[in-house]
Amino acid sequence: MRRVDLAIGIGGAAGQGIATPGDILARIFVRRGLHVNAYNAYQSIIRGGHIFLTLRTSDQPVLSQGDKIDVLVPLNQDTMDRHLRLMRPGSAVLFNSDTIKPGVVADGVQLCPFSVKALAPAIRGDLVQNTIALAAILRMIKVEFKILEEILAIQFRRRGAAAVAENTGVARAGYDCAATHFTEFSFSLPDMGKRLAFFEGNQALAMGGAAAGVRFYCAYPMSPASGVLHWMSRHARQLGIMVRQVEDEIGVINMAIGAAHTGCRAMCATSGGGFALMTEALGAAAMMEIPVVCINVQRAGPATGVPTKTEQGDLWQVLGAGQGDYPRIIVAPTNIVDCFKLVPTLFNLVDKFQCPGIILSDLLLSEGRSSIDPAELDFKVPIDRGDVIGLNGDGPPVNGHFKRYLVTESGISPRALPGTPGFSHVVATDEHDEDGVLISDEFTDPHKRQAIHEKRMRKMDGVLPLLPSPELHGAAGAQVTLLGWGSTEGVIREAIQQLAEANVAANNLQIRWLVPLHAEAILSILSKCRKVIVVENNYSGQFARYLRSETGFAADGHIRKYDGEPFMPHHLVDGVNAILAGSTKLYVPVHEIQV
């Protein structure tokens, strides 16, 4: 049973300073060992628009942004107008009554107006209301003032002692105002006795790259993948990672391939549009048999689409990226720890099998933030570079004529790095023979082409046994199985808890490794399930169609969402109920909050 489950929503226009109070609250929570999940619904705008940060904390793991807001902080009238009607009994709304007027409010919602003019008459600036609201919230959840005082001292240190004193004074006024005028919440925030880390998926992907030994990272800025670039750039010198911003995504992937060919572990990240530009070169990496890792952080498409909104709409793009058949490994992390751990795993695989690897994340996972036990972040990971000659600049004695693309049973050929004496060879994107000599033009030979093509493709047979089989989460024999892939794991598992409370037994099969796919294992699990519903953030049921193409399995129902916002648990609960009742096979929830 949860002792605390508190969701705070802070909304306003871009530029109103929503991030800072959010960061301070999150820091206070994770320092007590409380779990936190934060999701920022934002727009592609630097000033104006509507931004809404949901920060949810609990003594138990927080799997999603949840269904409700307990404390609303509207920083402008627009936010008040959009969100007030969704507030439920027991919740509170804190606002600057000088500029914001409440509307019609449900019974049991506590309105907590404060006057910035009265509480901080001498201070100008729009950000004062944030500090007052922050302090008032902390008072209402019974956090001691000195904790806020300490954090404000750190926050404003760079702006000098006067700024620290001024902000502490404003905070004190807000804190005391809440003590006098507002009703505090009934719970107290426990201290779990262990600090947690708090970060976003993009940071986890970048740190996973560092742990894997990435020495070359390049990118073209693109939301929502830029967080990886920012982390890499900030830590480049500390970690000895070459970071480059390139002229376009075609340049990005080709530069990464060039670096990888010399022996560096090379990585890049982009979103769907940039990934589209990279596709030909991914095939080139496979053809030249150069290991490289590319991250696609999906956003709502097609084309420029909705740059700041989430979707799982690139599955088929990634499955079909590039012309021709070629070996590739595709994985979709299911949570933030997964983002960290999968990168070194994938690098070991692509090094061993000498092919490209693709990580399919999305905005929800990459820009969503979560509390993590720091013990999960183990940088000492196994590193396996596979069969490669010349990693230290020299090679073994030359033994006969080197064949870069030697046809072997496993399909894996010896790889030699440029600079190694005695192993000179040419790698080619044209079809070639074992020597690397082109057979695309005058030496065209169907038998050679077949042999070398089969050699390359055969490598995939060796990958599958190294990938863990997906496992059913929750009790077997449940009334319904929610089948998801990638980032939907958290919300699906929270929905399952809610369904259990309503006496609907549900379990979850979450797919992480997409290519190669454990088709037989998945089919074996699903054939024992009573009713299978596929949950995904796209219009056409891309995973459901992929599953059908690989296994012949047709799901009983589908829950899909493609409005840009992630699922909330109740969307899935409602969908499961509707499908179980037989009223529909396809449930598309309507997102209530007008963001």
Partner 1 sequence: MATMVQTERVKVTVKDLKGKVDPDWCPGCGDFGVLAALKQAIVEAGLEPHKVLTISGIGCSSNLPGYLNTYGMHTLHGRALAVATGAQLANHDLKIVVTGGDGDGYGIGGNHFVHAMRRNVDLTYIVMNNQIYGLTTGQLSPTSIKGMNTKSTPFGSVENPINPIPLAIAAGASYVARGFTGQQRQLVELIKGGLQHRGFALIDTFSPCVTYNHDNTHEFFKQRTRKLEEMGHDPTDLHGALEKGWLWGEVIPIGLFWRRQDLPALDQLEPVLGEGGPLAHRPLGVASDIAQALIKELM
Q: Which is nearer to partner 1, 321 or 428 (CB)?
A: 428
Q: At closest approach, how far in Å is the CB of 215 from partner 1?
A: 5
Residues 6+ apart with CB under 8 A from 317: 272, 275, 276, 279
Distance CA 383, CA 352 (A): 11
Contact present, 211 and 342 (Cβ < 8 Å) = no
Distance in angstroms (rounded) separating the CA atoms of residues 534 and 484: 6
User: Is 325 or 394 the residue whose CB approaches partner 1 more closely?
Assistant: 394
Taking the least distance from each CB to partner 1, the nearer of 337 and 521 is 337
Least distance between partner 1 and beta carbon 46 (Å): 26
Min dist CB 337 to partner 1, Å, is 12
**310 CB neighbour count, 10 Å cutoff:** 29
Residue 254, token pair as written in the block: 């080709």
Kindly tell me which of 98 and 430 has the beta carbon lying closer to partner 1: 430
* Pick 25 or 73: Cβ nearer partner 1: 25
Starting at the edge strand found earlier in the chain, the sheet holding 506-511 runs 472-473, 506-511, 480-485, 532-536, 557-560, 586-587
Q: CB count, 10 Å around CB of 397?
A: 6
Q: Which is nearer to partner 1, 281 or 482 (CB)?
A: 281
Between 168 and 270, whose beta carbon lies closer to partner 1?
Answer: 270
Instruction: State in angstroms the smallest separation of the CB of 71 from partner 1.
Output: 24
Q: Cβ 243 to partner 1, closest distance in Å?
A: 8
CB of 255 to partner 1, least distance (A): 4
Residue 361, SS3?
A: strand
β-bridge partners, 39: 54
Can you spell out the DSSP letters for 70-121?
SEEEESSHHHHHHHGGG--TT-EEEEETTT-------TTPEEEEE-HHHH-T
Choice between 247 and 409, CB closer to partner 1: 247
Minimal distance, residue 282 CB to partner 1, in Å: 11
Least separation in angstroms between CB 251 and partner 1: 4
CB 559 within 8 A of CB 531: no
Q: How far apart are CA 284 and CA 286, in angstroms?
A: 5
The pair of three-digit structure tokens given for residue 3, joined into one six-digit string: 């002792």
